[in-house]
Chains A and B, each alone.
Chain A
Amino acid sequence: MYHTLTVLVANSPGVLYRVVGLFSRRGFNIDSLAVGQTENENVSRMTIVVEGDALILEQVTKQLRKLIDVIKVSNITAEEFVARELVLAKVTANPAQRGEIMQIADIFRARIVDLGRRTLTLECTGDEAKIKAFEESLRPYGIKELVRTGKIALLRGSKYAGVNNIKEEAL
């Protein structure tokens, strides 16, 4: 089963290494990892997607909470959340194919962000299913290069996994 964790960490060197080390030691393959600064410049937020046993993951989560630089860990898998990923894809596009590709882009509300003599670079955001479908539709044209940011997520509504509700954190 896939799990989505959000981990708030102090913005200090080495913190990524510490966090990732806990997963690799227990044989978790990190499926995607996105890191960036939050509303607070001293705090970064990691969104981690891993596949694995729920009990072992619970242990890893507790170990994560013990890291001095980790401020908060939430496993939001079972919650309602909005998740997005951004993908950039460079596809082969002869002038004759450009029209078709631009139609596909339209369907996925993707944008053309660069144009080469024989290539088009597209940008698309969405959830996992959409990104996958987007990739599949481009495949026949020849994807020369593709890069994904990894998933980022926020809880829906007025709930948040941010720094303010640390106290409500259960064990």
Chain B
Amino acid sequence: MEVTAAQALVQALEQENIPIVFGYPGGSTLPVYDVLASSAIKHVLVRHEQGAVFAANGYARATGRVGVCIATSGPGATNLVTGIADAYMDSVPLVIFTGQVPTTQVGTDAFQEVDITGITVPITKHNYLVKDHRKLLQTIKNAFYIAATGRPGPVLIDMPQDMLKNKISFRYPKNVSLQSYKPVLEGHFGKINEAARLINKSRRPVIYAGGGILISQACEELKQLAEVISAPVTNTFRGLSCFSGEHPLFLGMLGLHGTRYANLAVTECDLLIALGVRFDDRVTGKVATFAPEAKIIHVDIDPAEIGKNVRIQVPIVGDVKVVLQALLPLLKKTDRAAWLQRIEELKKLYPLFYHQENVLKPQFVLEELFRLTDGEAVIATDVGQHQMWTAQYYRFKKPGAIISSGGLGAMGFGLPAAIGAQLGLPGEKVILVTGDGSFQMTMPELATMVEQKLPLKIFILNNRALGMVRQLQEFYYDKRYFGVNFEFVPDFVVLARAYGIPGYNISTPDELTQRLPEVLNTPGPVLVNCLIDPLENVLPMALSGQMTG
């Protein structure tokens, strides 16, 4: 039977088992909306296209499945750009559909025309402009495959409006048709052997584990590795939650705002086992002084990451789970008592700490959240100090339980991403930890949250400032504060009321401890405005030199 290309698109999404799409309509996507109306696929109407792509992103991170969003041509498409870049930086699988002006008008500066495939070349894994309706289905098939396999990432499909109205017969291809795209999963056997030899010989190994562990679902293999060879594990920000925050071998986060003992352990180690990481500048600081005594084994599915920033002794291209499964049988069980004792010593010498006073400290909020959720909640964050405090003080136990913009560091990510995460994980307790600055970037999505009846618990760590940037001015610009302190901050509790959400102001530790159990047990959404010490800094701050917020 012949159907319109728009109809075929929706049927293709059904074939891909996509239960939900996040979107915002416009003239050019109307053919699709007309079909979506009668489909079983849920459409979540957001309040800004950035909300759609961030929500798809939160959904994908929370579920490990491909997130899908759709926006109209022109401004709808450009509003997606930040969210696409975020997915690209953090390797999140998305398929993004954009409407486009009719094929006959493409390239004429028609009303609401932008070259969105041109704009997104550097921030997508791949993108397509589909002018020929007969190619649409194969394109969708390829797009989902590319987004989800290898190093995942966003794929965009731009669809001229007239193309969507053309008729095709629906036959969804079984296979992808890609000439040369074949991610390598299995690591080179010789290299794996070499890695095993180095590990067995090493006296002071450290495992440096990143988002690749979460993506390849290698958390169990990582745990085995750490326990068999008695090596402490440090995480990148993106890797947090892949190794239990409660495990005695856990060192916490590495890098700029990582624990001192993690950074010192890397400085002292003789072997760094880097798994699914990319030696980001926030981790390494000056490359020359990073892990100065160590040989480095680097496992990653993306060959372009290996040797990009740091010289590697044993490079292994492959899926980290597959590689670890091959590596584990080659390893000797070792207890490395002296090294672990040294690690304990470092942990005691340089613990994470803050001064508890009678004002509300942000770290205390996170500790209380951790205590009362037993580390089992899914936490979405925005970007800034509150994000780093979450990374430091909420000791994640469940893989994938942190939903946060790492590589791009995009403020405004939190609320829509939390919405996507909660829709993907309806049974889980999803908490948003945000800042007064970030929250104001995408707070209109409160309407989406209410409309979707989502029970999010929102904690604003309110310091009436762009705290992270204020901190940079304090340390690196001689306290010349400018453009970082808000002279006006809305009354968030009154704002919550406008959306029909209960809200509370909390300004002392006691109030927090009293109020928190009730908040967490409320069936619906709650907003908690935590008036925290505005001068609190994120410490430690390991590196100096040129930095941006």
Measured CB to CB, the residues of A under 8 A from B are 10, 13-14, 17-18, 21, 25, 42-43, 58-59, 62-63, 65-72, 166, 171
Given the known inter-chain contacts A59-B304, A59-B308, A171-B317, please indicate yes or no for A68 contacting B126, CB distance below 8 A: yes
CB distance from A68 to the nearest CB of B (A): 4
Closest to A10 in B: B179
- Inter-chain contact A14/B117, CB cutoff 8 Å: yes
Partner of B304, one of A10, A18, A62, A72: A62
With the chains together, A83 CA to B433 CA distance in Å? 60
With the chains together, A136 CA to B129 CA distance in Å? 46
Q: B288-310, CB under 8 A of A: which get 1 and which 0?
A: 00000000000000111011100
How many A-B contacts if CB must be within 8 Å?
A: 44
Instruction: Given A62-B308, A63-B304, A67-B126, output 7 extra A-B contacts at Cβ < 8 Å.
Output: A14-B129, A17-B118, A59-B308, A68-B126, A70-B180, A166-B180, A171-B303
Q: Is B531 an interface residue (CB 8 A)?
A: no
- Contacting residues, chain A, for B317 (C-beta < 8 A): 171
Closest to A60 in B: B304
- Inter-chain contact A171/B315, CB cutoff 8 Å: yes
Mark out the residues of chain B between 292 and 347 whose CB falls within 8 Å of any chain A CB in the assembled complex.
302-304, 306-308, 315, 317
With the chains together, A62 CA to B303 CA distance in Å? 7
With the chains together, A156 CA to B253 CA distance in Å? 52
Closest to B180 in A: A71
- Contacting residues, chain B, for A13 (C-beta < 8 A): 129
Given the known inter-chain contacts A13-B129, A25-B122, A171-B317, please indicate yes or no for A66 contacting B304, CB distance below 8 A: yes
- Contacting residues, chain A, for B488 (C-beta < 8 A): none
Listed by A's residue number, 28 A-B pairs whose Cβ atoms lie within 8 Å are A10-B179, A13-B129, A14-B118, A14-B121, A14-B129, A17-B118, A17-B121, A21-B122, A42-B179, A43-B179, A58-B307, A59-B304, A59-B308, A62-B304, A62-B308, A63-B304, A65-B304, A66-B303, A67-B126, A68-B125, A68-B126, A68-B146, A68-B178, A68-B181, A69-B126, A71-B179, A166-B180, A171-B315
Closest to B126 in A: A68
CB distance from A18 to the nearest CB of B (A): 6
Partner of A72, one of B118, B122, B180: B180
- Contacting residues, chain A, for B122 (C-beta < 8 A): 21, 25
- Contacting residues, chain B, for A72 (C-beta < 8 A): 180
With the chains together, A29 CA to B39 CA distance in Å? 51
Closest to B127 in A: A14
Number of B residues near A (Cβ < 8 Å) is 20
With the chains together, A71 CA to B146 CA distance in Å? 15
- Contacting residues, chain A, for B303 (C-beta < 8 A): 62, 65-66, 171
- Contacting residues, chain B, for A69 (C-beta < 8 A): 126
CB distance from B170 to the nearest CB of A (A): 24
With the chains together, A142 CA to B367 CA distance in Å? 80
- Contacting residues, chain A, for B146 (C-beta < 8 A): 68
With the chains together, A69 CA to B126 CA distance in Å? 9
With the chains together, A71 CA to B125 CA distance in Å? 15
- Contacting residues, chain B, for A43 (C-beta < 8 A): 179
Mark out the residues of chain B between 185 and 228 whose CB falls within 8 Å of any chain A CB in the assembled complex.
none
- Contacting residues, chain A, for B125 (C-beta < 8 A): 68
Mark out the residues of chain B between 98 and 129 whose CB falls within 8 Å of any chain A CB in the assembled complex.
117-118, 121-122, 125-126, 129
Closest to B306 in A: A171
With the chains together, A161 CA to B111 CA distance in Å? 46
With the chains together, A147 CA to B317 CA distance in Å? 44
- Inter-chain contact B181/A21, CB cutoff 8 Å: no
- Inter-chain contact A18/B180, CB cutoff 8 Å: no
Closest to A12 in B: B128
With the chains together, A67 CA to B178 CA distance in Å? 11
With the chains together, A25 CA to B123 CA distance in Å? 13
Closest to A72 in B: B180
Closest to A61 in B: B304
Closest to A18 in B: B121
Closest to B182 in A: A166
With the chains together, A66 CA to B122 CA distance in Å? 12
With the chains together, A68 CA to B126 CA distance in Å? 7
**Most A-side CB within 10 Å, residue of B125, B179, B181, B306:** B179
With the chains together, A106 CA to B304 CA distance in Å? 49
CB distance from A133 to the nearest CB of B (A): 40
CB distance from B93 to the nearest CB of A (A): 14
With the chains together, A71 CA to B179 CA distance in Å? 7
With the chains together, A100 CA to B308 CA distance in Å? 55
Closest to A64 in B: B304
